[in-house]
Amino acid sequence: DAPYKLILLRHGESEWNAKNLFTGWVDVNLNEKGEKEAVRGGELLKDAGLLPDVVHTSLQKRAIRTAQLALEAADRLWIPVRRSWRLNERHYGALQGKDKAQTLAEFGEEQFMLWRRSYDTPPPPLEDGAEWSQSDDPRYATIPPELRPRTECLKDVVQRMLPYWYDSIVPDLLTGRTVLVAAHGNSLRALVKHLDGISDADIAGLNIPTGIPLSYDLDTDFRPVNPGGTYLDPEAAKAAIEAVKNQGKKK
């Protein structure tokens, strides 16, 4: 049996996922469908007997509320909680607040995919004080100025997420706890890239659906015994992954 159990959970559908807008660090809430997905995620955990002993979330309410709703459904609201900006969604720069379909139409498929899924091309930066900027948000006041993102590519996310993985999540795993990480499409893609050793090129094709727990059994080197992880509802995950991939092409 693998010694360490890790569960990844992308938040349920948000108000802006439903509107097909680039979100990034904008702190949008779950919509009703997203709340239901989160509850279902918790029920899946309970049914699988995968009960988290500790939960890590970003500082964004869509992930925080997803964790809360899922843990409530699994009767695990009492477990310790840790949060970090390092689990936040990728900062989407000047694309934050923009419509994905309109952006695709305006800039073309190649540029759109470069911004959305390339490993190392960030969107243009978002000016401090701009409409969808978080430059004045008190929750980020403790981030050293030189680390505060104004845009990020996935490579940047890997770089700021990994210190949290090693300093905070791995130590919890080492104590034998089952760890739940409730986060975002791209912060989880960054973690999956690391866990599964996915190449810079191949990570472009990996999409994570909302609200479906992805469980990893890790060996003593923190490598997956089940590469790619195991979705607790594989059928639903398959359809939802396709939908994420095709965002921008609809609406």
Catalytic entry in 13, 37, 89, 152: 89
Q: Please tell me the distance from the alpha carbon of residue 133 to that of residue 91, in angstroms, as a whole number.
A: 10
Nearer to ligand DG2, 66 or 178 (CB): 66
The residue type at 131: E
Quick check: 158 and 186 in contact, CB under 8 A?
no
Binding segment toward ligand DG2, per CB under 6 A, in 14-22, 191-199, 211-219, 235-243: 14-22
Tokens 């911004």 belong to 115
How far is CA 243 from each of CA 44, 105, 202, rounded to the nearest angstrom?
A: 21, 18, 19
Can you read off the two tokens belonging to residue 208? Answer: 């994570």
* Residue 23 contacts ligand DG2 per CB under 6 A: yes
Q: Is 22 in the site for ligand DG2 (CB under 6 A)?
A: yes
- Give the H/E segment covering residue 170: helix 170-174
**What secondary structure, in 3-state letters, does 105-131 show?**
HHHHHHHHHHHHHCCCCCCCCCCCCCC
Q: Is 114 in the site for ligand DG2 (CB under 6 A)?
A: no
Q: How far is the CB of 232 from ligand DG2 (least distance, A)?
A: 18
CB 9 within 8 A of CB 41: yes
Q: Please report whether residue 193 would count as binding ligand DG2 according to CB under 6 A.
A: no
Binding to ligand DG2 by residue 12, rule CB under 6 A? no
Per CB under 6 A, 133 contacts ligand DG2: no
Of the candidate residues 116, 160, 177, 193, the single one contacting ligand DG2 (CB under 6 A): 116
Q: Tokens in use for 65?
A: 């509320």
Which range touches ligand DG2 (CB under 6 A), out of 17-25, 69-77, 104-112, 171-179? Answer: 17-25
Please name which of 59, 68, 67, 50 lies closest in space to residue 5, comparing C-alpha atoms: 50
Q: Which of 37, 89, 152, 172 binds ligand DG2 (CB under 6 A)?
A: 89
Nearer to ligand DG2, 99 or 233 (CB): 99
Quick check: is 56 catalytic? Answer: no
Residue 121, token pair as written in the block: 């091309």
* Residue 66 interacts with ligand DG2 (CB under 6 A): yes or no: no
Write out the residues near ligand DG2 by the rule CB under 6 A: 10, 14, 17, 22-24, 89, 92, 116, 184-186, 244, 247
Active site positions, annotated: 11, 89
